[in-house]
Amino acid sequence: MTTSDGNTPQVTDEHIERLKENMEKVEALSKRLVDVMAGKTPHTPALDGPNQELFAKAATAYFAEAWQNPAKILEHQIEYWGKSVLNFAEAQQAMAKGEIETDESAPKDRRFANPMWDTNPYFNFIRQQYQTNAKAISQAVASVEDIDDKDRRRLTYFSQQIIDMMAPTNFLATNPDALEKAVETEGQSLIKGLENLVADLEANDGELVVRLADETAFEVGGNIATTPGDVVYRNRMMELIQYKPATETVHETPIVLFPPWINKYYILDLKAQNSLIKWVTEQGYTLFVVSWVNADTSHADIGMEDYIQDGFLTAIEEAKKICKVKQVNAVGYCIAGTTLSLTLSLLKQRGDKSVKSATFFTTLTDFGEQGEFTPFLQDDFVNGIEDQVNKDGVLKAWIIGRTMSFLRSNDLIYSPAIRSYMLGETPPAFDLLYWNGDGANLPGRMAMQYLRGLCQGNDFVTDGFELMGHTLHIRDVDVPLMAITCETDHIAAWKDCYRGVQQMGSRSKTFVVSESGHIAGIVNPPSKKKYGHYTNPDLKGDADTWLNEADFHEGSWWPMWEAWLKKRSGKQVPARDTGDSDHPRLAPAPGDYVTVKASR
């Protein structure tokens, strides 16, 4: 490929011929693509979109509004028509003049960062018309009346998904970055992109799950999850890892940390610089962490009661035995925090004081507001999930991962897909994204108990959640507690977490809002000096009042939590080595369960 002025690429006949040769390679890849799609295992269609009743309701309401108030609808239509004609006229004018007048005041969209969106009449017209269409769809949805709030939120969400999906950047013919790269590389970028696409489909049984990270760059136990420790107990539900001490003495009361079983525990031990696990041992604590089993069909009948009995209660009991103490400090993250709350209610009703204090990371207990999960927690989707788990025995990791990704589709689906499939780039070597893709299957029975009884029924804060012969209720959670939430968390919104903490029966409650989101707000080491946090001891008012009156603190909440924990962790004792005569070291950390990949 030559250039005429040292900068501008000049496409030659020879270049075109090499481009054609590369395009012929597409045939072989296309055959692989057809083969993998032909062998795809079908899944319940309800997992792919809402019941058509939602759109029927919206259409009926829209046309009813048109009959009742035609002027309003016509105003929207005329505005759309006028803008579309203006876009076309401006494009014609630009082609005639050979230049475009750009609007510097227009809001910036990073999807349209390529200068050609502003300087090329073709791409400029496409961008403007897409933005006009997007506004028209949003306006139409906003104008729909006579539908309830949940349906409105779902309609807004799914219409935005359509808008995002139809962005011109998602299609080769209207993506200047991809077209420029294809010409520059003589079509090799498209060959590599198609190879990436086929590889992702083959790796996921025909389901399109965009790989976010270079999986060859990481090894669990090699360059991530490397804090020294040993598996000291194992059963069908979990491995219990005890971490080696990093100080000569430790606090008498150990910590037992329960991570979510939707993902692997090593989010808290990615690398030494941001490992909460390593940091806790360096503060002088005996730390136990549960590594959950990655469910397969043999776990289909495992329920919440099994996680409590063979997970929470067993881990607490074994930690007590190893440390020869009567109490532990417990920590629960996300769904494990929710289940820790259930466990504390059970212990309260049994008169068991094994837990001295509880810390909750981004934990929902009151599901009265479903937030961004509203589109997925209605009966059409949940019924679809139930149908699928009845077939598979488990709620497969790709279903969970896809749902989470669609909450941030531009960042977690479309942008990575463009880079991988159109530009032919290798996914980045990013440990957080590697962990994000290393999902876990959920036992079918547990998944439905959680979705039906907690998420949909909100039983824990209303009539009580029936489990293990008890009616578990949030008011029974009465140990001293600290709740860490995250300001921009889209999975466990901090205001919803706050509402749950308000209803807990504890006399001693500390509530914290960290800056950032579900992961970065928790994995926030003091050394980074990155995200601050808010505190306010008065939990009587609503969430907005709490935040308005809260004090802001620079830096991580970890030291503040450790100071709180220290008061509840007893005297200093000689550092404990891992295990004992009744708890032999079964395997070095990170153990065996964490390396099991989710079945497809």
Which of the listed ranges 143-152, 412-421, 476-485 does the model predict with the highest average pLDDT? 476-485
Q: Any idea what DSSP says for residue 271? A: S
Whether 334 is catalytic is yes
Rounded Cα gap, residues 358 and 72, in angstroms: 55
pLDDT at 3 over 60: no
Give the model's confidence band at 10: pLDDT under 50 very low, under 70 low, under 90 confident, else very high. low
Is the Cα dihedral 223, 227, 233, 236 positive or negative? negative
pLDDT for 461 equals 97
**What is the average per-residue pLDDT within 544-573?**
98
Q: Is residue 387 part of a domain?
A: no
pLDDT at 63 over 50: no
Look over the chain and give the mean of its residue pLDDT values, rounded to a whole number: 88
Write the DSSP string, 457-516: T-GGGTT-EEETTEEE-GGG--S-EEEEEETT-SSS-HHHHHHHHHHS--SSEEEEEESS
Give the model's confidence band at 11: pLDDT under 50 very low, under 70 low, under 90 confident, else very high. low
Domain span at 474: 229-364+460-595
Pick the closest to residue 33 from 307, 330, 421 (CA basis).
Answer: 421
Tally of CB atoms within 10 A around 360: 29
CA atoms within 13 A on the CB side of 155: 26
Q: Is residue 164 part of a domain?
A: no
Instruction: Kindly report the backbone phi and psi dihedral angles of residue 383, in degrees, each rounded to the nearest multiple of 5, phi listed first.
Output: -60, -40
**What is the average per-residue pLDDT within 208-228?**
93
pLDDT for 62 equals 47
Rounded Cα gap, residues 268 and 291, in angstroms: 11
Write the DSSP string, 81-117: HHHHHHHHHHHHHHHHHT-----TTSPP-GGG-STHH
Q: Is residue 575 part of a domain?
A: yes
pLDDT at 174 over 80: yes
Please answer whether residues 490 and 372 qualify as being in contact, where contact means their C-beta atoms are separated by less than 8 angstroms: yes
DSSP H stretches of helix in 246-362: 276-282, 304-306, 314-323, 335-350
Rounded Cα gap, residues 568 and 246, in angstroms: 20
Longest dimension (CA), the chain: 86
Rounded Cα gap, residues 371 and 379, in angstroms: 16
Give the model's confidence band at 585: pLDDT under 50 very low, under 70 low, under 90 confident, else very high. very high
What total of structural domains would you count in the chain?
A: 1
Rounded Cα gap, residues 454 and 19, in angstroms: 56
Q: pLDDT of 28-58, one tens digit each?
A: 777 787 777 777 777 777 776 666 665 555 5
Q: Is residue 218 part of a domain?
A: no
Would you call the peptide bond into 590 cis, given omega within 30 degrees of 0 as the criterion? yes
Q: Is residue 255 part of a domain?
A: yes
SS3 content of the chain, % helix, strand, coil (to 5): 50, 15, 35
Q: pLDDT of 474-492, one tens digit each?
A: 999 999 999 999 999 999 9
DSSP H stretches of helix in 283-334: 304-306, 314-323
Q: pLDDT of 67-108, one tens digit each?
A: 455 555 545 555 655 656 666 666 666 666 666 666 665 667
Give the model's confidence band at 514: pLDDT under 50 very low, under 70 low, under 90 confident, else very high. very high
Q: Any idea what DSSP says for residue 579? A: -
Q: Any idea what DSSP says for residue 274? A: G
pLDDT for 157 equals 85
Rounded Cα gap, residues 332 and 361, in angstroms: 6
Q: Is residue 384 part of a domain?
A: no
Q: pLDDT of 352-410, one tens digit each?
A: 999 999 999 999 999 999 878 887 888 888 988 999 999 999 999 988 888 888 888 88
Q: pLDDT of 151-173, one tens digit each?
A: 888 888 888 888 898 899 999 88
Give the model's confidence band at 205: pLDDT under 50 very low, under 70 low, under 90 confident, else very high. confident
Pick the closest to residue 497 from 309, 329, 332, 264 (CA basis).
Answer: 332
Per residue, the 3-state secondary structure of 502-545, as one string, reads HHCCCCCEEEEEECCCCCCCCCCCHHHCCCCEEECCCCCCCHHH
Pick the closest to residue 459 from 449, 469, 447, 444 (CA basis).
Answer: 449
Please answer whether residues 354 and 489 qualify as being in contact, where contact means their C-beta atoms are separated by less than 8 angstroms: no
Q: pLDDT of 451-476, one tens digit each?
A: 999 999 999 999 999 999 999 999 99
pTM over 0.85: yes
pLDDT for 374 equals 82
Rounded Cα gap, residues 197 and 29, in angstroms: 10
Rounded Cα gap, residues 515 and 205, in angstroms: 38
Is the Cα dihedral 272, 277, 280, 286 positive or negative? negative
Instruction: Kindly report the backbone phi and psi dihedral angles of residue 498, in degrees, each rounded to the nearest multiple of 5, phi listed first.
Output: -60, -45
Which amino acid is residue 58, in one-letter code?
A
Rounded Cα gap, residues 398 and 600, in angstroms: 8
pLDDT for 401 equals 87
Q: Any idea what DSSP says for residue 29? A: H
Q: pLDDT of 261-316, one tens digit each?
A: 999 999 999 999 999 999 999 999 999 999 999 999 999 999 999 999 999 999 99
pLDDT for 78 equals 55
pLDDT for 478 equals 97
pLDDT for 6 equals 42
CATH number, domain of 476, equals 3.40.50.1820
Q: Which tops the pLDDT comparison, 241 or 384?
A: 241
Instruction: Kindly report the backbone phi and psi dihedral angles of residue 215, in degrees, each rounded to the nearest multiple of 5, phi listed first.
Output: -70, -20
pLDDT for 590 equals 97
Q: Is residue 511 part of a domain?
A: yes
pLDDT for 66 equals 47
Rounded Cα gap, residues 377 and 382, in angstroms: 6
> Annotated catalytic residue: which of 334, 455, 486, 497?
334
Rounded Cα gap, residues 21 and 112, in angstroms: 31
pLDDT at 493 over 90: yes
Rounded Cα gap, residues 21 and 188, in angstroms: 10
**What is the average per-residue pLDDT within 318-328?**
98
Pick the closest to residue 436 from 520, 529, 493, 525 (CA basis).
Answer: 520
Is the Cα dihedral 477, 483, 488, 490 positive or negative? negative
Residue with tokens 């019924």: 383
Please enumerate in sequence order all residues whose Cβ is within 8 A of that of 119, keeping only pairs 6 or more positions apart, or say none.
Answer: 100, 102
Q: Is residue 174 part of a domain?
A: no
Please answer whether residues 514 and 524 qualify as being in contact, where contact means their C-beta atoms are separated by less than 8 angstroms: yes
Please answer whether residues 440 and 446 qualify as being in contact, where contact means their C-beta atoms are separated by less than 8 angstroms: no
